[in-house]
Structure 1
Amino acid sequence: MAAKKQQEEVDIKKRKRTNTETPSSNPKKKSTTKFVPSKKPKPHSDDKDKNKAPLNARERRHHAKELTDARKQKRRRHYTLEQELARLWEKMRRHEIAKEDRSKLVTEALTKMKGKIHEIAGSHITSRVLQTCVKHCSQAERDQVFEELRPHFLNLAYSAYAVHLVKKMLDNASKKQLAGFISTLRGHVAPLLRHMVGSVVVEHAYDLASAAQKQELLLELYSTELQLFKDLVPAKETRLLDVMSKLGLQKGSVSRHMSKVIQPILEKGIVDHSILHRVLLEYFSIADKTSVAEIIQQLSSPLLIRMIGTKDGAKIGILCVKYGNAKERKKIIKGLKGHIGKTAYHQYGCMVLVSILSVVDDTKLITKVIIRELQSILKELVLDKNGRRPLLQLLHPNCSRYFSPDELASMNSSIPSLSLKDQSEASSQTETSKVSIGNDDSMEDSEVKVPEVNEDKTSVDDTDLAESGKKDPLVRRQELLINSGFAESLLDICIENVGELIRSNFGKEVIYEVATGGSEGILHPTLDDKINSLHKAIASLAAVPKSEDSQEEHVLENFFSNRTIRKLILDCPDFASILWKEALKGKCELWAHGHSCKVITAFLESTDSKVQKLAKKELQPLIDNGVLKNPQAKEQASQ
């Protein structure tokens, strides 16, 4: 019995072990458990219909649009209103719509938006609707929109879409409304200028502002004291140095504040605005040498090209060229590559090119980047008011006939902390003060450090500074004009198009300079043959018989050309001789009337005795008969 019980216990243990074994613990033994799939829930009747009839492409798009609209409606509070306004906008913006119908639609749209304008102005759809409404609505409706938006202008100035509405409102604002908007900017000008979108609003307000309002915007960028006590600044004081001296502000404090304002703007590359250009110019007038050098280094890059489109920006460009070292000048010139033509035609940008041609010593780089690009559009440049200036600068530098006093002042402007002249004056004053201190027994230990100055009056630390380049100006001009082949190309253009150029208001000046050989005779003797050919080309035009049937005015009677020919007779004896022999000899009586008489009398007015001798025999009878007036008698009468 005991053995039987023992056997039963062993069997029970074996059965337990068999039941607890898993497939992973005994991989050789196959599982006998059958897989029973779970029962799926019965599909809904609608799902059955969808499975039976799948959506086509059009229905899928319609269904997706409905889902998108539903999401937008949950996310955007005024989504339904925006859709309604968009439908109205499609009607009101059409060109063929009647004025009365458009006014009704505009009024309807403004009525729907009333009280919610500032909330929906940031949308890319409703901002366009609002701009159209502001453009075509009545003045009373426009004033209502302005009043509703006035508390929210600052927030809207940071919005990529609302900014266009703000600009439109400013364009249509009255003087009082503009003044109110500018007052709301108080304390926020610097933060807005650091913002890519906000800076556009400040610049737009600055362009529309009066002189006093511009000053109000600028003062905030100069100093915290000026921001708080702007009423103490006289309206007539526009320069920062004058304001500082009037209020007794410390230069160091103002300079530090301006540096904090300027640096973040430059780091973000927001340099297109004229208000910043004005601030930079004022900063240059008070900043120390190190700070100015850092700014010039930052701007000596493609950033500068975006600045030279304004008057103050071009002045900054000239100063960067003037005071930049060789490496920085090279960066500026290379940055202009591909933009030379556009820059040359620009009213202010052309002055930066003029400065480069006058200052930079690396003539090979200038020839490669600037001269070659100018050569490809040479005829257009000669006939253009601004494009001719770089050419005239090479032919006759800094001539007051071709550059206004303001432009000449820009080219001669300087930065006090970097100017060699100012530094030499400062050093001489410091030496004087040191002598006076040394003679004072009570201040025996006092000493003022004077910077070491070389024989050429430049500081030892400033050996890299070269305000007008180290190369002789005449040598630089010869390399740019003669060695590069630029002058030869210019002469070819003048000879080929002599009739068109000499009759034009701007081309005549280039013709004159080229025909006289340029300032200091720079084109002689290398290009004498071509200059002689130009003289003959002008003389051949003058030799054409006078004809009333001709549609083109004769070169001796044209307002511009006859005055140019007269100047050439007075200033260039070689040309006078050729003109007389080929065109005027024996024909003076024919040309002694009208505008052409100026050309004839120029032979008698010439200071060259040979020129006078050429014409005196033929012109004396005309003077005796009263056809021509004796220029000598004129001079005596005036005396």
Structure 2
Amino acid sequence: MAPKKQNDGNTKKRKRIPSAGSNPQASRSHESPSKAPKVSSSSKKPFKSLKTRKPDAVPKDTTKKAPLSGRERRLQAKELAEARKKKRKRHYNLEQELAHLWEKMRRHEIAKEDRAKLVTEALQKMKGKIPEIAGSHISSRVLQTCVKHCSQAERDAVFEELRPHFLSLAYNAYSVHLVKKMLDNASKKQLAGFISTLRGHVAPLLRHMVGSVVVEHAYELSNAAQKQELLSELYSTELQLFKDLVSLKESRLLDVISKLGLQKGSVIRHMTSVIQPILEKGIVDHSIIHRVLLEYFSVADKSSVTDILQQLSSPLLVRMIGTKDGAKIGILCAKYGNAKERKKIIKGLKGHIAKTAFHQYGCLVLVCILSVVDDTNLVTKVIVRELQPTLRELILDKNGRRPILQLLHPNCSRYFSPDELTSLNSSILSLSLKDQSETSSQTEALEVSLNEEKSKEDTEMAVDEPSKDDTPKDDSYVAESGKKDPFVRRQELLIKSGLAESLLDICIENVGELIRSNFGREVLYEVATGGSGGILHPTLDDKITSLHEAVASLSAMPKSDDSEEDHVLENFHSSRTIRKLVLDCPSFASTLWENAIKGKSESWAQGHSCKVISAFLESPDSKVQKLVKKEMKPLIDSGILKNQKPRELSTK
């Protein structure tokens, strides 16, 4: 019998041929496939490795699901988001309940009793959890509404619950509004307690965009002593540790240093470390920062002051001039900045000129710029061009008229209060001393050069050399009032720019409205008299004469009982303006007499118009007196008018 071959998995089995004498049954079992044992299919195919073997097949669902509609997808996404919020937020369900109550309580038409019930219900739900939910944008709004409309007892309870957490809440973008609302409704004792909690944290809060809002709000609500307490912490570490060292008598930093004997250098270093991070972050909107900067200018040396002025001479200044102290800083920047920095300031104001002119404090910054900046082309291009479209509204506004009046009559006490004139004349001690030292050194150099030149034979050299020393060597900071002659600067800004011509056109067109206005009449008076120093003469003499005739024709109109407005000679404002014009402008007095008063003086010699008639007798101009003498003498003799002595001619 032949030997068996090794069975290979890749080959089929060979059929065995039965030999003679073998078992026929066994041979039949190999021959008959129907009776042979079944062989598994795996034995017929090669084995696969475990890595490539597929798992048992799962029967697939052959039924296709219908695609979800847009509404169903949104609902499914909403449910998923709700589930995530519930896991992430601890008081999510409470916030939803509060939001539902808030929608009811904040309605305008709701009754007070119903709102009070809703507020009480909301506060009961929040009790014990207020500090935790105050940082949520939903719950913080609900709390603000509750604090606004709740009773004083409920408000006090909320305040006490929030008291230990005020500092942490002050840094949150949502809860900061709740803190401000609590301060608005706080009693004096509660406000004092809140300010005491800020001790040691004023500087860090001011460096934070959100926290600085809380400090500023507390500063605005504080009395003088509390303001001093907040400010003193920013001056030195000693004052931060011992708050009772400073009293109200030492409100200025210089007085504090002299009384306590503090080291000036240490104070400057501490204030610099406080101020610099604030300016780097651009947090310059708050009045407490403006006050600190002014105090810093009063004690700091030249280099420190110039560094701060360079940082502030930028578009940041627009955000500062909305406060009284901020406007002072803007004035100082315009005064002491060099040409490059002044250009930055003016360009930063571009687009905000009209709004600034109408502002109570911002208008003073414009007044200062018009008074000190020598680059009149830039001032005309940016400032004057933006003022011209709103010129009529500016003339009629209390603040808007001031930049115009500054050009017509600079630093006049009739148009600026003593406090405003003090702000316009403010200076920085260290930089003023620098200007004085520069001036004195230039004078000494000039005297030395003149003495040397006298000994020289060549007189031409003696004339040339002093002119070399007239210009200062250090031009980093120019003189406070600029180098250009003030009258020349005014001429370029008024006449060359066309502003004066526009002013005259508006005064002629709106003469009735302006002369009866409390503020417009002052601009009309200055324009009609030609401005201080006669700056509008002789260039605009023709239009000034037209304005005189317009006022005279208005005065020549007969009285009318049906008219709603008083006659221009009897109106409270216009009669006084016309009187001043008669006294100060002889040409106007002659025009008014010839066109309106001549032959009618007796009818106007009573009431408010009597002041106008008497002004002709008081006129310092002999021609005017001679003009009216004949008609006025009967009125004086009959006692209708008093014999007035002529006034001295005013020098404008």
TM-score, normalised on structure 2?
0.86
Cα distance in 1 for residues equivalent to 2:647 and 2:477: 56
Within 5 Å, give how 1:305-320 maps onto structure 2. Answer: 305-320=318-333
1:329 aligns with 2:342: yes
1:405 aligns with 2:418: yes
2:39: which partner in 1? none
Amino acid at match of 2:110: I
Cα distance in 1 for residues equivalent to 2:440 and 2:129: 66
CA deviation profile, 1:73-121 (whole Å, cap 9, x unmatched)? 1111111111111111111111111111110010000001001000000
1:170 aligns with 2:183: yes
From 58, 72, 75, give the equivalent of 1:41: 58
Cα distance in 1 for residues equivalent to 2:290 and 2:163: 28
Within 5 Å, give how 1:609-628 maps onto structure 2. Answer: 609-628=622-641
Cα distance in 2 for residues equivalent to 1:597 and 1:191: 66
Task: Summarize the Cα distance change of 1:494–1:313 in structure 2 as closer, same or farther, 3 Å threshold.
Answer: same
State the shift of 1:265 in Å. Answer: 0.6
Which SS does the other structure have where 2:399 is aligned?
A: coil
CA contact (8 A) 2:367 2:402 kept: yes
CA contact (8 A) 2:619 2:646 kept: no
1:210 aligns with 2:223: yes
Cα distance in 2 for residues equivalent to 1:315 and 1:394: 20
2:72: which partner in 1? 59
Which SS does the other structure have where 2:137 is aligned?
A: coil
Cα distance in 1 for residues equivalent to 2:545 and 2:57: 105
2:26: which partner in 1? none
CA contact (8 A) 2:438 2:472 kept: no
Report the structure number with the largest CA radius of gyration. Answer: 2
2:106: which partner in 1? 93
1:127 aligns with 2:140: yes
State the shift of 1:420 in Å. Answer: 4.6
Within 5 Å, give how 1:142-221 maps onto structure 2. Answer: 142-221=155-234
CA contact (8 A) 1:540 1:582 kept: yes
Task: Summarize the Cα distance change of 1:365–1:227 in structure 2 as closer, same or farther, 3 Å threshold.
Answer: same
CA contact (8 A) 1:417 1:423 kept: no
CA deviation profile, 1:413-456 (whole Å, cap 9, x unmatched)? 1111111577439989xx9xxxxxxxxxxxxxxxxxxxxxx999
CA contact (8 A) 2:338 2:478 kept: yes
1:586: which partner in 2? 599
1:465 aligns with 2:482: no
Task: Summarize the Cα distance change of 1:40–1:274 in structure 2 as closer, same or farther, 3 Å threshold.
Answer: farther
Farther off after superposition, 290-299 or 391-400: 290-299
CA contact (8 A) 1:388 1:506 kept: yes
Within 5 Å, give how 1:366-405 maps onto structure 2. Answer: 366-405=379-418
CA contact (8 A) 2:323 2:361 kept: yes
Amino acid at match of 2:616: F
Within 5 Å, give how 1:489-638 maps onto structure 2. Answer: 489-632=502-645
CA contact (8 A) 1:420 1:458 kept: no
1:354: which partner in 2? 367
State the shift of 1:52 in Å. Answer: 4.0
Structure 2: stretches of 5+ with no match in the other structure: 12-44, 445-466
1:415 aligns with 2:432: no
Task: Summarize the Cα distance change of 1:588–1:149 in structure 2 as closer, same or farther, 3 Å threshold.
Answer: same
State the shift of 1:279 in Å. Answer: 0.5
CA contact (8 A) 2:617 2:646 kept: no
2:460: which partner in 1? none
State the shift of 1:463 in Å. Answer: 6.1
CA contact (8 A) 2:180 2:214 kept: yes
1:345 aligns with 2:362: no
Cα distance in 2 for residues equivalent to 1:114 and 1:561: 65
State the shift of 1:458 in Å. Answer: 9.3
CA contact (8 A) 1:576 1:611 kept: yes
Amino acid at match of 2:74: R
CA contact (8 A) 2:618 2:646 kept: no
State the shift of 1:234 in Å. Answer: 2.0
% identical equivalent positions:
79
CA contact (8 A) 2:618 2:647 kept: no
Cα distance in 2 for residues equivalent to 1:539 and 1:595: 17
Cα distance in 2 for residues equivalent to 1:632 and 1:58: 93
CA deviation profile, 1:281-332 (whole Å, cap 9, x unmatched)? 1111111111111111111111000000100000000000000010000010
CA contact (8 A) 2:336 2:477 kept: no
1:25: which partner in 2? none
CA contact (8 A) 1:494 1:534 kept: yes
Which SS does the other structure have where 1:417 is aligned?
A: helix
Amino acid at match of 2:219: Y
Which SS does the other structure have where 1:413 is aligned?
A: coil
Cα distance in 1 for residues equivalent to 2:176 and 2:82: 26
Which SS does the other structure have where 2:589 is aligned?
A: helix
Which SS does the other structure have where 2:614 is aligned?
A: helix
From 308, 318, 325, give the equivalent of 1:295: 308
CA contact (8 A) 1:424 1:457 kept: no
State the shift of 1:182 in Å. Answer: 0.5
State the shift of 1:615 in Å. Answer: 1.3
From 250, 257, 274, give the equivalent of 1:237: 250
Task: Summarize the Cα distance change of 1:54–1:372 in structure 2 as closer, same or farther, 3 Å threshold.
Answer: closer
Task: Summarize the Cα distance change of 1:633–1:500 in structure 2 as closer, same or farther, 3 Å threshold.
Answer: closer
RMSD: 2.8
Amino acid at match of 1:245: S
Farther off after superposition, 197-206 or 544-553: 544-553
1:474: which partner in 2? 487
CA deviation profile, 1:17-70 (whole Å, cap 9, x unmatched)? xxxxxxxxxxxxxx9889975434357xxx999x54554333333232222222
Which SS does the other structure have where 2:480 is aligned?
A: coil
Structure 1: stretches of 5+ with no match in the other structure: 16-30, 432-453
1:116: which partner in 2? 129
Cα distance in 1 for residues equivalent to 2:227 and 2:527: 44
CA contact (8 A) 2:315 2:349 kept: yes
Task: Summarize the Cα distance change of 1:93–1:40 in structure 2 as closer, same or farther, 3 Å threshold.
Answer: farther
2:287: which partner in 1? 274
Task: Summarize the Cα distance change of 1:365–1:634 in structure 2 as closer, same or farther, 3 Å threshold.
Answer: closer
Cα distance in 2 for residues equivalent to 1:414 and 1:74: 61
State the shift of 1:275 in Å. Answer: 0.5
Cα distance in 2 for residues equivalent to 1:162 and 1:467: 46
CA contact (8 A) 1:601 1:631 kept: yes
Amino acid at match of 2:588: F
Cα distance in 2 for residues equivalent to 1:426 and 1:469: 14
Amino acid at match of 1:268: K
Cα distance in 2 for residues equivalent to 1:597 and 1:218: 56
State the shift of 1:209 in Å. Answer: 0.5
CA deviation profile, 1:503-555 (whole Å, cap 9, x unmatched)? 10000000110011100110111111111111111001011111212222111
Cα distance in 1 for residues equivalent to 2:508 and 2:147: 56
Q: Post-superposition, which runs of at least 4 consecutive aligned residues in structure 1 deviate over 6 A?
A: 31-36, 425-428, 454-459
Cα distance in 2 for residues equivalent to 1:456 and 1:188: 53
2:33: which partner in 1? none
Amino acid at match of 1:41: V
1:79 aligns with 2:96: no
CA deviation profile, 1:232-284 (whole Å, cap 9, x unmatched)? 21222111111111111111111111110010011101110010000011111
